[in-house]
A and B are shown apart, each in its own frame.
Chain A
Amino acid sequence: MTLPGIVQLALYLAVLLALVKPLGWFMARVYTGKPCGLDRVLGPFERLFYRVSGVDSKAEMSWKEYAKAVLVFSALGLFSVYGLQRGQALLPLNPQALGAITPDSSFNTSVSFVTNTNWQGYGGEVTMSYLSQMLALGTQNFVSAATGMAVLVALIRGLSRRSAFTIGNFWVDLTRSTLYILLPLSCILALALVSQGVVQSLKPSQTVSLVQPILFEQSRGDQGEATHTVRVTEQVLPLGPAASQIAIKQLGTNGGGFFNVNSAHPFENPTPFSNFLEVLAILLIPAALCWTFGEMIGDRRQGWAVLAAMTAIFTVLLLACTWAESAANPAITAFGVDSTFGAAGNMEGKEVRFGIANSALWATATTAASNGSVNAMHDSFTPLSGLVPMWLMQLGEVVFGGVGCGLYGMLMFVIVAVFIAGLMVGRTPEYLGKKIEPFEMKMAALAVLMPCALVLLGTAVAVVVPQGQTTSNPGAHGFSQILYAFSSASNNNGSAFAGLSANTPFYNTALGVCMFLSRFWLIVPVLAIAGSLASKKGVPATAGTLPTHTPVFIGMLICVVIIVGALTFVPALALGPIVEQLQLQGH
Chain B
Amino acid sequence: MATSLHTPAVPSRSLFDPAIVRVALVSALLKLNPRDQIRNPVLFVVFVVSLLATLLFAHALLGRGEARAGFIGWIALWLWFTVLFANFAEAMAEGRGKAQAASLRRARRDVKARKLHEPRRDGRSELVEGSALRKGDIVLVEAGEVIPGDGEIIEGVASVNESAITGESAPVIREAGGDRSAVTGGTTVLSDWIILRIAANPGQTFLDRMIALVEGAKRQKTPNEIALDILLAKLTIIFLLACATLLPYSIYAAAQAKAADPNSVAAPVTVTVLLALLVCLIPTTIGGLLSAIRIAGMDRLVQANVIATSGRAVEAAGDVDVLLLDKTGTITLGNRQASQFHPVDGASAEELADAAQLASLADETPEGRSIVVLAKKYSLRERNMHDLGASFTPFSAQTRMSGVSVNGREIRKGAADAIDAYVTRMGARPSEQARVIVNEVSKRGSTPLVVADGKGRTLGIIELKDIVKGGIAERFAEMRRMGIKTVMITGDNPVTAAAIAAEAGVDDFLAQATPENKLDLIRKYQQGGRLVAMTGDGTNDAPALAQADVAVAMNTGTQAAKEAGNMVDLDSNPTKLIEVVQIGKQLLMTRGSLTTFSIANDVAKYFAIIPVAFAATYPQLDALNIMRLNPATGILSAVIFNALIIVALIPLALRGVKYRPVEASVLLRNNLLVYGVGGLIVPFIGIKLIDLALNVL
Contacts and interface: CB of A to CB of B under 8 A. Distances in A.
Interface of A: 162, 416, 419-429, 433, 436-438, 440-442, 445, 448-449, 452-453, 456-457, 459-460, 463-464, 474-476, 478-479, 537-540, 542-547, 550, 552-553, 555-556, 559, 563-564, 566-572, 574-575, 578-579, 582-583, 586
Contacts of B315: 428
B60 to A, nearest CB: 24
Nearest to A579: B618
Interface residues of B, number: 81
Contact of B606 (A428, A555, A570): A570
A437 B621 CA distance: 42
Contacts of A552: 665, 668-669, 672
Given A426-B667, A476-B618, A544-B321, A574 B588 contact: no
B321 A474 contact: no
B249 A438 contact: no
B257 interface: yes
B566 interface: no
Given A559-B676, A563-B599, A575-B250, A543 B624 contact: no
Contacts of A438: 223, 226-227, 230
A544 B231 contact: no
Contacts of A540: 321, 528-530
Contacts of A537: 527, 529
A550 B530 contact: no
B530 A427 contact: no
B615 to A, nearest CB: 11
A425 B223 contact: no
Nearest to B252: A463
Interface string B32-50: 0000000000000000000
B665 A550 contact: yes
B529 A538 contact: yes
A538 B277 CA distance: 43
A224 B281 CA distance: 57
A422 B592 contact: yes
Contacts of B665: 546-547, 550, 552
A443 to B, nearest CB: 10
B668 A453 contact: no
Across chains A and B, which 3 residue pairs bring their CB atoms closest together, nearest first? Answer: A544-B483, A423-B592, A426-B585
Contacts of B224: 423, 428-429
Contact of A539 (B259, B321, B586): B321
Interface in B205-220: none
A582 B623 contact: yes
B620 interface: yes
A424 B668 contact: yes
Contact of B249 (A423, A437, A459, A570): A459
Contact of B668 (A538, A543, A556): A556
11 contacts: A420-B231, A424-B672, A426-B667, A437-B223, A464-B248, A542-B484, A543-B481, A568-B242, A571-B246, A575-B253, A579-B621
Contact of A456 (B242, B277, B614, B618): B242
Contacts of A440: 227
B26 to A, nearest CB: 32
B551 to A, nearest CB: 18
B238 to A, nearest CB: 5
Contacts of B614: 574-575, 579
Contacts of A433: 529
A171 B292 CA distance: 51
B231 A478 contact: no
B227 A571 contact: no
B676 A475 contact: no
Interface in B157-193: none
Given A563-B599, A575-B618, A448 B256 contact: no
Interface string B439-466: 0000000000000000000000000000
B313 to A, nearest CB: 13
A448 B227 CA distance: 15
User: Chain A interface secondary structure, helix, strand, loop or mixed?
Assistant: helix
B483 A475 contact: no
B624 A449 contact: no
Contact of B624 (A463, A564, A569, A574): A574
B591 interface: yes
Given A428-B315, A540-B530, A571-B610, A583 B620 contact: yes
B606 A567 contact: yes
A547 B659 CA distance: 18
Contact of A420 (B233, B316, B595, B610): B595
B621 A424 contact: no
Nearest to A584: B620
Contacts of B610: 570-571, 574
B483 A542 contact: yes
Interface in B230-267: 230-231, 233-234, 237-239, 241-246, 248-253, 256-257, 259-260
A233 B256 CA distance: 44
B234 A448 contact: yes
A42 to B, nearest CB: 39
A574 B611 CA distance: 9
B482 A543 contact: yes
A422 B227 CA distance: 12
B462 to A, nearest CB: 41
A544 B584 CA distance: 13
Given A425-B668, A445-B234, A456-B245, A539 B260 contact: no
B593 interface: yes
B410 interface: no
Interface in B277-302: 277, 281
Contacts of A425: 585, 589, 592, 664, 667-668, 671
A544 B245 contact: no
A545 B664 contact: yes
A464 B586 contact: no
B121 interface: no
B230 A479 contact: no
Contacts of A475: 253, 256-257, 260
A330 to B, nearest CB: 14
B9 interface: no
B589 A459 contact: no
Interface string B581-623: 0001111110111011001101100100010001001101101
B448 to A, nearest CB: 36
A565 B593 CA distance: 21
Contacts of A543: 480-483, 663-664
A436 B228 CA distance: 11
Given A441-B226, A570-B610, 16 more contacts: A419-B227, A419-B231, A421-B668, A424-B589, A424-B592, A424-B667, A460-B248, A478-B256, A545-B664, A552-B668, A566-B603, A567-B599, A571-B606, A571-B610, A579-B618, A582-B623
A419 B286 CA distance: 15
B485 interface: yes
Nearest to A427: B319
Contacts of A419: 227-228, 231
B148 interface: no
B671 A424 contact: yes
B299 to A, nearest CB: 18
A426 B618 contact: no
A545 B319 CA distance: 9
